[in-house]
Amino acid sequence: MAKYSKLIFVCTGNTCRSPMAEAIYKNMERVSEMKVISRGLVVLFSEPMNPKALIVLNKHDLKTTSHVSKGLKPSDIDSDTLILTMTEKQKNKVLNEYPGAAGVYTIKDFAGESGDVVDPYGGSLIDYEECYSELARLVKKTVIKLNEENQEA
């Protein structure tokens, strides 16, 4: 029995980092039954994915469905939901504002690293590419850790 049935990648606006992490994860991990989504903490209205994030994903042959930003809601979170945020500040916000959330980590904490994933918003295409590379490394570590935990369960 898997420890988590759902994984939510969380960033600020759900237009750059979390949808990139979701796309990377879904491309890397195709065996698991876990539902994988992304959400934002400050989503005032629905927006498409950032064009630079899309360019970077396409460059790496990662297709996304027509992504539209969505805010994190309490109904997204179950007792067996893993939430991976991009920053410590976002992790604390989730823990403070969503009392049902139990498995909340920064993606770097979960992957055995420290620090935050820097938001490339407003940066150059190179900034988005660097963010992608960092997320790809962290998501790979996440997939490996989840697979190990599921084998132990």
| Options 109, 116, 119, 127, the catalytic residue | 119
| Options 11, 16, 39, 76, the catalytic residue | 11
Tokens standing for residue 97 = 């504002």
| Options 16, 17, 39, 131, the catalytic residue | 17
d(CA 111, CA 143): 9
CA angle 112, 49, 98 (to 5 degrees): 55
Would the CA dihedral through 140, 143, 147, 150 be positive or negative? Answer: positive
Instruction: Residue 61: name the closest of 122, 136, 118 by CA.
Output: 136
Reply yes or no on whether 137 is catalytic.
Answer: no
Task: For the chain, state the CA radius of gyration.
Answer: 14
d(CA 116, CA 106): 8
- Give the active site residues: 11, 17, 119
